[in-house]
Structure 1
Amino acid sequence: MNEKKFSITIAGGGSTFTPGIILMLLDHMETFPIRRIKLYDNDAERQEKIAKACEILLRERFPEVQFSYTTDPAEAFPDTDFVMAHIRVGKYAMRELDEKIPLKYDVVGQETCGPGGIAYGMRSIGGVIEIIDYMEKYAPNAWMLNYSNPAAIVAEATTRLRPNAKIINICDMPIGIERSFASILGLKDRKEMICRYYGLNHFGWWTSITDKEGNDLMPQLKAYVKDNGYVVNTVDFQHKDPSWKDTYQKVKDVYALDPDTLPNTYLKYYLCQDYVVKHSDKNYTRANEVMNGREKEVFSAAKEIVEKGTAENCGFHVDNHASFIVDLARAIAFNTGERMLLIVRNDGAIANFDSDAMVEIPCIVGKNGPEPLSMGNIPTFQKGLMEQQVSVEKLVVEAWTEGSYQKLWQAITLSKTVPSGEVAKKILDDLYEVNKPYWPELK
């Protein structure tokens, strides 16, 4: 085992995903040794509920790992090698409004797509920039591994506003889909595949999937997806919420638009807008599913651990994205040159696309961060969709930076999920009213 041991700060310590990250870190102690874990959150009460349970978990499994939690950045960020950030500004109360306000106007209501994603982005930018600035002050050599949503808008903001920051923006959704691919193909692990993928975050396509010997796996996958979407007969899938099952099933209709590629599930919201709205419950959205599901389950598990004084047989579980973020940290720490799908500045990787766009593509990762792989030219259909969507993301960042109502109105109007400028304005006015505590003042 390498003698070097690492210090981790988890920003968003009160998140329901925090226990899964800690479990994954503990599962990989032999290959990625940890000496300290610190939790940081600006909500002391919420964080304490998770932290007390995690403290017991660590004491029982790896008592040599130092553990602490705080709301003070001066305690959270010094002596840190990696900051793993997954903040949610406004928590689920604001996510619920992000989803329900657009649906009121028969527009897609989704956490990261369309007007809801734009509203969330306007809240997230300031929070992520704040953490970057804390790191610059207290831990200038640390890497920030950021999977705070909406990742596309956050990535655009960070590269524009803090271009020299040591930040890598990531998303776990493609990992979950690739796990489904592996199940469809009868493989034990998604890492048995080599994938080529391009797009924007939550807005991309797989163009090639082979095994390690170079054998083409796409024909088998396409034959399955044509009839079933990404639905798989596994225990993991059967426990998914109804909205996710529907999303995986709807992939077959998105796939039909371009049978040369396999789509990211989130394209449903841009290419099947009428279907999404028709099949949405305007009074009970995905936010309500999460609040009544995962939120209650994780906090109940944490409470039980604290009350019993033991984490044995606890209800905490490792999540998809937890494994991805540990792989990324290890690739940087030990210069492994692992191939990973990351959100990076294009800079010619997609030859016929904007050089300064933040794209999601395979990269080789080492101690100096990601090295993007060339994807060549992309087809007109994908290029057109991506140009529209990346313009939305750029306008959102400009609106946040300039405090511009006009540019935010333009961004919502330009979203493929929105039918007109008139509808966009109504949605914007409603969103602005409820987001005044979180957004910059707009003029």
Structure 2
Amino acid sequence: MSKKLKVVTIGGGSSYTPELLEGFIKRYDELPITELWLVDVEAGKEKQDIIFELCLRMVERAGVPIAIYKTLDRREALLDADFVTTQLRVGQLKARELDERIPLSHGYLGQETNGAGGLFKGLRTIPVIFDIIKDVEEICPHAWVINFTNPAGMVTEAVFRHTKFKKFIGVCNIPVGMKMFIQDVLKIQPQDDLAIDLFGLNHMVFIKDVLVNGESRFAELLDGVAAGTLKASGVKNIFDLPFSEGLLRSLNLIPCSYLLYYFKQKEMLAIEMGEFYKGGARATVVQKIEKQLFDLYKNPELNVKPKELELRGGAYYSDAACEVISAIYNNKQTEHYVNFPHKGHIDNIPTDWAIEMTCTIGSDGATPTPRITHFDEKVLGLIYTIKGFEIAASEAALSGKLNDVLLALNLSPLIHSDKDAEKLARDMLLAHEALLPEFAQTIAALK
């Protein structure tokens, strides 16, 4: 093992960074990081400065020899990096607010990873991730990139479809939240061996089995969730509605909370429209939470991750990333839930798809579990539909062409009119003009 272990976090000024550092601190014995570099852009400098000072205090309190650096020069930071984590938001939360409010103004769900909002977040993000990968290939080609920038599925699909870079793994907190829920309701003890068979796409995963010490306890779990005696684990950024008993029993699967957007589309839209008419949107709430967090972070007495961070929708993202990094670094061969190209392991989907499922992770990356080789036919149609949307979105992000945007919008099951797709494309391209350089010619033609 090398004496130096360098991690670079792009989007270092994120409110999640203290959780990432907390994860590194508590794993220091197995993951002896010597340098953590926080990278951000000029617009994020003020937040980066606050996070940097908090990180220094956290490291001092923990008494671990991790040197913390900050820079706006990504290429400087990447020199000799071993791991690069990406947690960026192009356009920050103001752009997210547009992603939510513009679709709602047309009567459609506004959400940062699904539908029109998810598409435009992808269009802004994918070119930036590609630029980062180009720098990594040139400056630190042996480094692994661990991505938890949303839309994680779309980003992972784009990377493996349109680049030759292979050391890239997408991470999401949704499966982690589902696992914590299962540990809680089944009263799993630390000495128990818990294995969860989870499959699908990012923000579209289903649990098909839960094994405790080799024995399935899925029926018990499904019965409890379906009957309402067990409350399915939600995430903070989605309204907590229960799936109907009929749906759960007919699927014989446990869907993640993001599937509310497809199985309860009418109800979710009604809730969001109600918030919209009152002047609200999830991004508005998040901006308030983030302001409160950064006010806390500024406190020179604070030297730990504050509990309030869990109010953000992405709690436990960072913990998932730390676990994946440790599994690669230590060749642990442990079970995780990640986004990666399955390369034909699943026998009833195209071999070149990037998917999200249970994998074993070691020094050579992610290997899909042999327990899942087939996606459940009952949900295959929905998975195909969303993957078609993701593939079209990744093409549009690179081409900068209006027709490619329209194709992606029309393929989304959350958009119900080709005419509305044209209005959404126009409004959102114009609103995000400054953050979509690949679309300069297209936007000029729309004006």
Q: Report the TM-score when normalising by structure 2.
A: 0.90
d(CA) in 2 for partners of 1:372, 1:197: 11
**What is the CA RMSD across the aligned residues, in angstroms?**
2.3
Whether the 8 Å contact between 2:115 and 2:412 is mirrored in structure 1 is yes
Whether the 8 Å contact between 2:357 and 2:368 is mirrored in structure 1 is yes
The percentage of counterpart residues that share the same residue type is 26
Deviations 1:57-97 (A, max 9, x none): 22332352211100012321112111111111111101111
Deviation (angstroms), 1:402:
1.6
Deviation (angstroms), 1:108:
1.2
Deviation (angstroms), 1:317:
5.6
Over 3 Å counting, the alpha-carbon distance change for 1:4 and 1:436 in structure 2 is: same
d(CA) in 2 for partners of 1:190, 1:389: 38
Q: Report the TM-score when normalising by structure 1.
A: 0.91
Q: 1:392 maps to which residue?
A: 389
Over 3 Å counting, the alpha-carbon distance change for 1:47 and 1:140 in structure 2 is: same
User: What are the equivalent positions in structure 2 for 1:73-88 lying under 5 Å apart?
Assistant: 73-88=74-89
Q: 1:415 maps to which residue?
A: 412
Q: Any idea what SS the aligned residue of 1:279 has?
A: helix
User: What are the equivalent positions in structure 2 for 1:242-257 lying under 5 Å apart?
Assistant: 244=238, 246-247=239-240, 249-252=241-244, 255-256=247-248
Q: 1:259 maps to which residue?
A: 251
Whether the 8 Å contact between 2:232 and 2:242 is mirrored in structure 1 is no
Over 3 Å counting, the alpha-carbon distance change for 1:140 and 1:193 in structure 2 is: same
Q: Any idea what SS the aligned residue of 2:81 has?
A: coil
d(CA) in 1 for partners of 2:393, 2:243: 28
Over 3 Å counting, the alpha-carbon distance change for 1:178 and 1:384 in structure 2 is: same
d(CA) in 2 for partners of 1:155, 1:354: 16
Moved more, 60-69 or 364-373: 60-69
User: What are the equivalent positions in structure 2 for 1:158-307 lying under 5 Å apart?
Assistant: 158-188=159-189, 192-212=193-213, 214-228=214-228, 231=231, 241=236, 244=238, 246-247=239-240, 249-252=241-244, 255-256=247-248, 258-280=250-272, 281-282=275-276, 283-293=279-289, 295-305=290-300
One-letter amino acid of the counterpart of residue 299, structure 2 = E
Q: Any idea what SS the aligned residue of 2:434 has?
A: coil
Over 3 Å counting, the alpha-carbon distance change for 1:436 and 1:369 in structure 2 is: same
Q: Which runs of 5+ in 2 are unaligned?
A: 443-447
Whether the 8 Å contact between 2:85 and 2:145 is mirrored in structure 1 is yes
Over 3 Å counting, the alpha-carbon distance change for 1:433 and 1:190 in structure 2 is: farther
d(CA) in 1 for partners of 2:193, 2:40: 37
Whether the 8 Å contact between 2:243 and 2:260 is mirrored in structure 1 is yes
Over 3 Å counting, the alpha-carbon distance change for 1:416 and 1:436 in structure 2 is: same
Over 3 Å counting, the alpha-carbon distance change for 1:50 and 1:312 in structure 2 is: closer
Q: 2:121 maps to which residue?
A: 120
d(CA) in 2 for partners of 1:337, 1:205: 23
Deviations 1:223-246 (A, max 9, x none): 11113386369xxx8xx75x54x3
User: What are the equivalent positions in structure 2 for 1:9-24 lying under 5 Å apart?
Assistant: 9-24=8-23
Q: Any idea what SS the aligned residue of 1:409 has?
A: helix
Give the total of aligned pairs. 429
One-letter amino acid of the counterpart of residue 11, structure 2 = G
Deviation (angstroms), 1:312:
6.4
Whether the 8 Å contact between 1:99 and 1:111 is mirrored in structure 2 is yes
One-letter amino acid of the counterpart of residue 40, structure 1 = V
Q: Any idea what SS the aligned residue of 2:175 has?
A: helix
One-letter amino acid of the counterpart of residue 422, structure 2 = K
Q: Which runs of 5+ in 1 are unaligned?
A: none
